[in-house]
Amino acid sequence: MATPPVAVSGLRKSFANQTVLNGIDFQLEAGKVTCVLGRSGTGKSVLLRLLIGLETPDVGTVCLEGQDMSTASPRQLNEARKKVGFLFQQSALYDSMTIGENVAFPLRRHTKLSRADRLDRVHQLLASVGMDRDLGKMPSEISGGMQKRIGLARALALEPTMVMFDEPTAGLDPITAAEIAKLIVELRDQRQITSIVVTHDLHTARTIADRLIVLDQGNILFDGTFEDFNRSDIPFVAQIVKDAA
């Protein structure tokens, strides 16, 4: 049996006296888009940070591409991270670097590409997100939607097999949000990239998700397809469906 891209088992995480995740288990399927929904403060972003090893679990394990993140050495952790792209909620572009330098950063660090080849690759990546004209601009000179696109181009620089999205459409207008959603679907359809998307936006989730996970009070309340989600009689899920209608 193939190793799942992400396997989470008995995951618990608390901050001070507040339990954020209360022993959750799930596995991601390769080449599929999984959306994680839930109220603010239910630990959706913390879950992503645990998956990529930015936080350590109190109890439980996270296996990324078969690598247990809690027992990995720094070198193993970095090798696992190279296979994963991460799009932050606020894009997290390096504000002392130009757009081109931001996208080139992982290439400069982890590949032996010549300067010319690197520049070609940066152009390709920026073109794939529709942003190949503003190479020399600083992140502060472009809009939030553009920053998200650049963040995505940077996340794709090392040709990851999986991408994690933290609220990719938050704060964007509906048109830009739809464009970002389209890019996520293209990653799945054209490159077979596995995605996990944390979002509040049910409309985006409906467009992109092969599978939905709903978190509530640190537990998985629902795990299934959008059709199952629409038919669910779990009160919280039914309420979300009703509010979105």
Partner 1 sequence: MPDTAIPHPFMEDLRACGKPVLTILEWVGDLGLFCWRAAKALVSPPFEGAEFLRQLDAVGAKSLPLACLAGAATGVVLSLQTRDSLTRFGARSLLPAVIVYSLLKETGPIIASLIVCGRVGAGIGAELGSMRVTEQIDAMEVSAVDPYKYLVATRILACIVAMPLLTVATDFVGVLMGWVATTLMEPIPLTLFLSTGFKGATFGDILPPTLKTAIFGLIIGSVACFQGMRTRGGTEGVGRSATSSVVLASLFIVLADVVLVRLIIEVF
162: β partners? 84, 194
Judged by beta carbon, residue 89 or residue 219, the one nearer partner 1 is 89
Residues 37-66 that bind partner 1 (CB under 8 A): 49, 52-54
- Applying CB under 8 A, does 235 fall inside the site for partner 1? no
Q: Which stretch binds partner 1 (CB under 8 A): 79-87, 177-185, 190-198, 235-243?
A: 79-87
Residues 134-193 that bind partner 1 (CB under 8 A): 154
Q: Which stretch binds partner 1 (CB under 8 A): 56-64, 103-111, 179-187, 194-202?
A: 103-111
Angle of helix 115-128 relative to helix 99-110, nearest 10 degrees, comes to 120
Q: Which residue bears the tokens 């599929």? A: 32
Picking from 130, 136, 132, 100, the residue whose alpha carbon sits closest to that of residue 118 is: 100
Residues making up the chain, counted from first to last: 245
- Applying CB under 8 A, does 93 fall inside the site for partner 1? yes
Judged by beta carbon, residue 43 or residue 222, the one nearer partner 1 is 43
- Applying CB under 8 A, does 243 fall inside the site for partner 1? no
Q: Which residue bears the tokens 């991270």? A: 81
Element (H, E) at 85: strand 84-87
Cα–Cα distance measured from residue 102 to residue 145, given in angstroms and rounded to the nearest whole number: 16
- Applying CB under 8 A, does 82 fall inside the site for partner 1? yes
Structure tokens at 127: 């073109």
Among 30, 92, 170, 238, binds partner 1 (CB under 8 A): 92
- Applying CB under 8 A, does 88 fall inside the site for partner 1? yes
Using an 8 Å Cβ cutoff, are 202 and 51 in contact? no
Which residues form the interface with partner 1 (CB under 8 A)? Answer: 49, 52-54, 74, 77-79, 81-82, 84, 86, 88-90, 92-96, 105-106, 109-110, 154
